Structure 1
């Protein structure tokens, strides 16, 4: 962008336009912040990595402090537009009811519909194009959990919410049940003001965690987190953690379900986040009977697809091992006793042993 064009842009007006456009595109909140974070952010990240809390997520260590330095991702970056979009599927069977049904499969509520990466990226690109047109040029990129960027830290700095003790972004208006996305740009947009935290002395998220993965306020040991164990971990789930996982076969929402701020959560109006294939109310045995073709067909376009069929069966075997010893549960496990995957066979054997088989 030339100097003359820079001078002709009304940046406060453009910032207001960005917020109006984001609402038109289905976003539920937007704030703007500078594309730099304080040194403490890098120090906290390095301490977390040094403690090994990232587990087998090697990319976290590989990218290192780039995560807190947006300008290394987008040279010349000046500001970050942080946005959020609600995902809670209001029509789904109540999460608490599924968790209380030991033969049901619990999948994190964000994963019941279509893959959010595609939905958010499309909307972010549309917003970026509007900004590009309005400002005559734009040097920047859009992100949605797609690059090493400290999205919660940036969203917090911009006042989109505050970091809860479970490490997720929280808002007073709508809790924490939303996705985040960013536009990192070289435009000198006016910055929004950071909001103070409102967790107070509450420790419900820490206390409820089935595996005690929140080792201290604002500190998560991913190696114990059920979301990590059922999604990111490629190999065997540690045997000592399996009984604690219960019927959670893809992700975990416990820390959010007990958060007082989520009483203000708003159901998503986005059709792509609506429940698909009855995944909000289905038995572990039914899902364990799926063939690989069933998995690929029904999970196409879902965030669950990326873990693959083998991990899917591994997770379900753990859930079945924690389920009651009903004929349906025992028959489902016995049918895969000689599964082609050594990983699945090992988890099935563990599950059958839990049932005295």
Structure 2
């Protein structure tokens, strides 16, 4: 069962959770904005569904909510930042803001972050740059749950890639895991009692597995079994390409930042992440008139959307369009929250002494 809640109320609630956990108001607000934007975009795996996990992570000392970013090395176009295991979303917003400032001053801004935590909806950070009419790019490594091609041991993360540029009526926003599915989808399918599709994951024996709780147990065990790379099993449908993309993300994040790689995240201590992240903002005005480029892209995306359909009943979308359409609807009608998630949020509220009633004023369909 799902109900709709005003996104403003949900954002205020999440902000208050982080404040009660010890975060500065600004950092709590940054984190809440990223988290609820995921729900607005119908990316439920990275929305308020995760708030109880963040609450537990703070309780176990994995996230240090009061921690502040520290610049370790800097040039006019780059910075290396230590996040000191703070709130991943807040650190990521801070780093992209820094990249944007550098891009406006010098044409490009590149920020590498280590000792962070889960930063949620990867597409949020390119969106920050897009709003400033800049190209935005972000990647992060995650705990090892990807089983590499011909392996049964999960040593790479979902390692998402997010990239975007301004266009009308919908910006281009590519946000993709380098695995067939994100880790959160396994949890959602397990919660709902649904089987995974064949070709999404393997069990401890390295064979395809469709039982979501079994795959979740494999991921938690940190031994064998996990999610397959984009393209699936073997090389026939390009699984080795997804494997390579995941490794590319690892180089840009963990290696460049001098941080932990995916095979170490949560291995030595299940309550310690220390993710590494990478942010780029670029002023395409260096290459010509920005408005002309944006119009050019808008026209091209329109051409793609209006191409001949394989099935007349199935529309053609460009990346990020469906999510932006969903956000328009959800801003007006409220974000969907599963009743099981709402009960978990109520428990967090009770533990922290927060009044959950305002958030629970459901919007009736």
TM value normalised by structure 1: 0.25
Bigger strand share: 2
Larger radius of gyration: 1
Q: Tell me the TM-score normalized by structure 2.
A: 0.25
